[in-house]
Amino acid sequence: METKNRIRYVKEIKMSCLSLLFALSMHVGLEGNYNNYHPHARCQEGALISGVYYNSEDNVSAYVGLEHKGFELGLVTGYSQDLVPMFRYKKNNWFIAPGYEIDGTTGIVIGWEFKLK
| Sheet strands (E) in the chain | 18-28, 37-45, 48-54, 60-68, 71-77, 83-91, 94-100, 106-115
pTM, two decimal places: 0.83
For residue 18, name the pLDDT band (cuts at 50, 70, 90): very high
Residue 6, pLDDT > 70, answer no
* Of residues 70, 76, 67, 114, the one with CA closest to residue 96: 70
Residue 83, pLDDT > 90, answer yes
What is the rounded average pLDDT of the residues 69-81?
95
Residue 70, pLDDT > 60, answer yes
Residue 76, pLDDT > 70, answer yes
* Sign (positive or negative) of CA dihedral 59, 75, 100, 20: positive
What is the rounded average pLDDT of the residues 48-72?
97
